Amino acid sequence: MRSWTLLVVVALLAGACTAPATLPAGGCFSDSSCADPTPRCDRNTSACVPCLPSNDNCPAGKRCVARGASYVCAGCLVAVDCPALASGRAAACCGGQCVDVTSDAHNCGACGTSCPAPTSGAATCTDGACGASPCAGGALDCNGDPRDGCEVDGQTDVKNCGACGARCAGGPNQSAACEAGACRSTCAAGWSHCSASASDGCEVHTEVDVKNCGACGHACPAVPGATAVCRAGGCAMFSCMAPFADCDGLAANGCEVNTSDDTGNCGACGQACPAVDNGAPGCRASTCGIGQCMVGFADCDGAVKTGCEAHLDTDVANCGACGKACALANATPSCAMGACAIAACNPTFADCDGKAENGCEVATATDAQNCGACGTVCPVDKPVCAAGVCHGMFPHHDGVGDTWMDAVATGTYTVDEAMAACKAYSAEQLGGTGTCTKACNCNGNDPCVAVLTKAQSYAWFYDHGPSTGQVTENCCNCKLVGPWD
């Protein structure tokens, strides 16, 4: 048996020795003579050809996979397809490629974990953790977060100027800046730093400081009789005492204008007070106003723009003086020569005493002494004034408010007059159903009189109303009697 095996081996070796001794151009003896994408040596043709899955002739980190009708060496499928790393760690298969997840910034710590690009520098992966390359160009990593890298510009950042936490601080009237990584300070316009102390900032206002006018140490010279001033960074000759001012610009006469009362320069040079209606302008306490009103006019509303608006001779709201309004009873007032007068009386009223102060004092509709007009006195037989007309003691009902007896005043009446009143009431108020009779118990030849009051008249003829009225005499003093009595 052993001799048989030996013969087979010898025969195989003899066959192997039949390969060409000389490698043809572009040919191969073994797979080591070939490279991707044709890593396999075809012994029959001595030519490099694509790989075969059964033999997987691909270089480390790749494997033979089908690609169309042929095979190619492609990336890995799983981690075991990848060769060990130089460090001895196992490689990972990420996206078909063998990678070192401990240092690959696109697969840091695990497949697909890509380190973000920092603000400054480049993304790095160390021992599976993302980081950034060292800062350069004045950039600083002040928050220690590798994800944003060198996030601070140490060349211009006033909070981290040249180094993390190096803050540039400005003093009063001073702004701080960071230039090329060094703090710089700038004074606000019109201010300067004149002292030796850096902590007080820009402490001098060179626009107005007479000791440092326009620049540190530039003092304005003293002027006799005046106060030296610094205006807009330049020395002025003097400063006037308020409220005086130098309006002509001549130093010889100094501050010649009192701006508190000068209408041409009121409050300031050249500020003239405007004209005033019905008056003249004035300047008081450096404010324009009304200096004087024309005769017969006054400033009653206190508004400068309306001037002396009130005509005291004719203004019913300000007649003769501001606030003196004409208000007359039962009349439309007027103002004439500064005195209140009556322009017209209201209907049914009249001014019978000629006194404007009590207005139209008489009601001519009811006044028996001025019935319908001043001086028209109702006669004895018609003593009652109603609607401006004189009537008898019992005026006929006029249909307005049932007032036919309202005008009756206390008086004496003959029996015939009382009878007439009773009959009139019966006709108007009772439709003629009332009965009026006359009885006299004394001398029938003597006229009987009735003494009636207004209240009695109301009770008898208005409030109660008789169904039968009777006029009787009692010792020649007659009265009305009936169911209403």
Contact 275, 267 (CB under 8 A): no
Token couple for 317: 């709201």
The whole-angstrom separation of Cα 429 and Cα 386 is: 19
At 9 the three-state DSSP class reads: helix
The pLDDT assigned to 463 comes to 36
The whole-angstrom separation of Cα 296 and Cα 186 is: 67
Cα 478-484-485 angle, rounded to 5 deg = 45
In order along its 485 residues, the chain shows pLDDT tens digits of: 333 333 333 333 333 434 445 666 678 888 888 888 888 898 888 899 998 887 778 877 677 877 778 888 877 778 877 778 888 888 888 877 788 888 888 899 899 888 877 766 677 888 888 877 777 778 888 887 766 777 888 888 888 998 998 888 878 888 888 888 888 888 888 898 898 777 788 889 999 898 999 999 998 876 544 677 788 888 876 677 788 888 888 766 667 888 999 999 999 999 999 999 999 999 999 999 999 999 999 999 999 999 999 999 999 999 999 999 999 999 999 999 999 999 999 999 999 999 999 999 999 988 889 999 999 998 876 777 778 888 654 433 333 333 333 333 333 445 555 556 556 555 555 555 555 555 444 444 434 333 333 333 433 443 333 333 333 333 333 333 332 22
Contact 80, 74 (CB under 8 A): no
Whether omega before 53 lies within 30 degrees of 0, making that bond cis, reads: no
Cα 26-27-29 angle, rounded to 5 deg = 145
Of 147, 80, 88, nearest to 113 (Cα)?
A: 147
Q: Which residue has the tokens 């004189």?
A: 390
Distances (CA, A) of 182 to 112, 158, 161, 199, 474: 42, 9, 6, 18, 134
The whole-angstrom separation of Cα 361 and Cα 373 is: 12
The whole-angstrom separation of Cα 200 and Cα 171 is: 6
Distances (CA, A) of 39 to 49, 64, 261: 6, 10, 114
Q: Is the dihedral of CA 140, 142, 144, 146 positive or negative?
A: negative
The pLDDT assigned to 274 comes to 93
The pLDDT assigned to 213 comes to 92
Token couple for 272: 């003239």
The predicted model scores a pTM of 0.34
Compute the residue count for the chain.
Answer: 485
Distances (CA, A) of 315 to 4, 291, 303: 157, 22, 17
The whole-angstrom separation of Cα 415 and Cα 424 is: 14
Label residues 108-118 b or e (16+ Cβ within 10 Å = b).
bbebebebeeb
Strand partners, 317: none
The pLDDT assigned to 186 comes to 84
Query: What DSSP assignment string belongs to 30-82?
Result: SGGG-BTTB-EEETTTTEEE---TTT--PPTT-EEEEETTEEEEE--SSGGGS
- Residue 5, phi-psi category: left (phi > 0), alpha (psi -120 to 50), beta (remainder): alpha
Kindly state the DSSP code that residue 198 receives in the 8-state scheme.
G
